[in-house]
Chain A
Amino acid sequence: MNQSINIIEVEGLSKKFGDFYANDNLNFVVKQGEIFGFLGANGAGKTTAIRILCGLSKPTSGKIKVANFDVYKQTEEIKKNIGYMSQKFSLYEDLTVEENIEFYGGIYGLKRKVLKEKTNELLKKLKLEDKRAKLIKEIPLGWKQRLAFSIAIIHEPKIVFLDEPTGGVDPVTRRHFWDLIYEAAQEGITIFVTTHYMDEAEYCDRVSIMVAGKIIALDTPDGLKKTYKSQNMNEVFLQLARTEE
Chain B
Amino acid sequence: MKAFKGFVIKEFYHIFRDSRSLLILFGIPIAQVILFGYIITTEISDANIAILDHSKDAVTREIIQKTLSSGFFKLAATIERESEIDAIFRKGIAKEVLIFEPDFEEKLNKGESPSIQIIADASDANTANLLVSYASAIIQNYNREQMQSRGVPMQIEARIRMYYNPELKGVYFFVPGIMAVILMLISAMMTSVSIAREKEMGNMEILLVSPLKPIQIIIGKLMPYFLLSFINAVSVLSLGYIVFGVPVNGSIVLLLAESMLFITLALSLGLLISSIAESQQVAMFISMLGLMLPTILLSGFIYPIENMPMWLQYICHIMPPKYFIIIVKDIMLKGVGLEYLWPETLILTGMTLFLIVVASKKFKTRLA
Is A108's CB under 8 angstroms from B210's CB?
Answer: yes
Bound Cα distance A107, B201 (Å)? 18
Name the interface residues of B154-204: CB closer than 8 Å to any CB of A. Answer: 201-203
Is B203's CB under 8 angstroms from A92's CB?
Answer: yes
Residues of B within 8 A of A79 (CB): 209-211
Bound Cα distance A92, B210 (Å)? 16
Specify which of B5, B7, B202, B212 lies most central, judged by the most chain A CB atoms within 10 Å of its CB. B202
28 of the cross-chain contacts (CB-CB < 8 Å) are A55-B209, A56-B209, A82-B209, A84-B205, A85-B206, A86-B202, A86-B206, A87-B202, A88-B202, A88-B205, A90-B201, A90-B202, A92-B13, A92-B201, A92-B203, A93-B201, A94-B17, A99-B10, A103-B6, A103-B9, A103-B10, A104-B210, A106-B3, A107-B7, A107-B212, A108-B211, A109-B3, A161-B209
Is A56's CB under 8 angstroms from B208's CB?
Answer: yes
Q: Does B207 contact A (CB under 8 A)?
A: yes
Q: Does A102 contact B (CB under 8 A)?
A: yes
Residues of A within 8 A of B10 (CB): 92, 95, 99, 103
Residue of A at shortest CB range from B200? A88
Interface of B with A (CB < 8 Å)?
Answer: 2-3, 5-7, 9-10, 13-14, 17-18, 201-203, 205-212, 367-368
State the Cβ distance, B248 to closest chain A Cβ, in Å. 38
Residues of A within 8 A of B205 (CB): 84, 86, 88, 90
Bound Cα distance A82, B209 (Å)? 8
6 new A-B contacts, CB < 8 A, other than A90-B202, A103-B9, A107-B212, are A86-B205, A87-B202, A90-B201, A93-B201, A95-B10, A106-B2
Residues of B within 8 A of A80 (CB): 211
Q: How many CB-defined contacts (below 8 Å) exist between A and B? A: 73
Residue of A at shortest CB range from B14? A94
State the Cβ distance, A117 to closest chain B Cβ, in Å. 17
Is B13's CB under 8 angstroms from A109's CB?
Answer: no
A102 and B6 in contact, given A57-B368, A58-B368 (Cβ under 8 angstroms): yes
Is A84's CB under 8 angstroms from B368's CB?
Answer: no
State the Cβ distance, A152 to closest chain B Cβ, in Å. 8
The one of A58, A90, A107 in contact with B6, judged by C-beta atoms closer than 8 angstroms, is A107
State the Cβ distance, B63 to closest chain A Cβ, in Å. 65
Is B13's CB under 8 angstroms from A95's CB?
Answer: yes
Residues of A within 8 A of B202 (CB): 86-90
Residues of A within 8 A of B14 (CB): 92, 94-95
Is A107's CB under 8 angstroms from B13's CB?
Answer: no
Residues of B within 8 A of A57 (CB): 367-368
Q: Does A54 contact B (CB under 8 A)?
A: yes
Q: Does A76 contact B (CB under 8 A)?
A: yes
Residues of B within 8 A of A107 (CB): 3, 6-7, 207, 210-212
Is B203's CB under 8 angstroms from A90's CB?
Answer: yes
Bound Cα distance A86, B206 (Å)? 8
Residues of A within 8 A of B206 (CB): 84-86, 90, 104
Residue of A at shortest CB range from B16? A94
Bound Cα distance A81, B94 (Å)? 80
Is A76's CB under 8 angstroms from B211's CB?
Answer: yes
State the Cβ distance, B118 to closest chain A Cβ, in Å. 57
Bound Cα distance A90, B197 (Å)? 11
A106 and B6 in contact, given A88-B202, A92-B203 (Cβ under 8 angstroms): yes
Is A108's CB under 8 angstroms from B3's CB?
Answer: yes
Residues of B within 8 A of A161 (CB): 209
Bound Cα distance A90, B208 (Å)? 12
Bound Cα distance A86, B13 (Å)? 23
Is B201's CB under 8 angstroms from A88's CB?
Answer: yes
Bound Cα distance A225, B318 (Å)? 66
Residues of B within 8 A of A54 (CB): 209
Residues of B within 8 A of A102 (CB): 6
Bound Cα distance A109, B10 (Å)? 15
In the complex, per-residue mask of A17-61: 1 if CB is within 8 Å of any chain B CB, else 0: 000000000000000000000000000000000000011111000
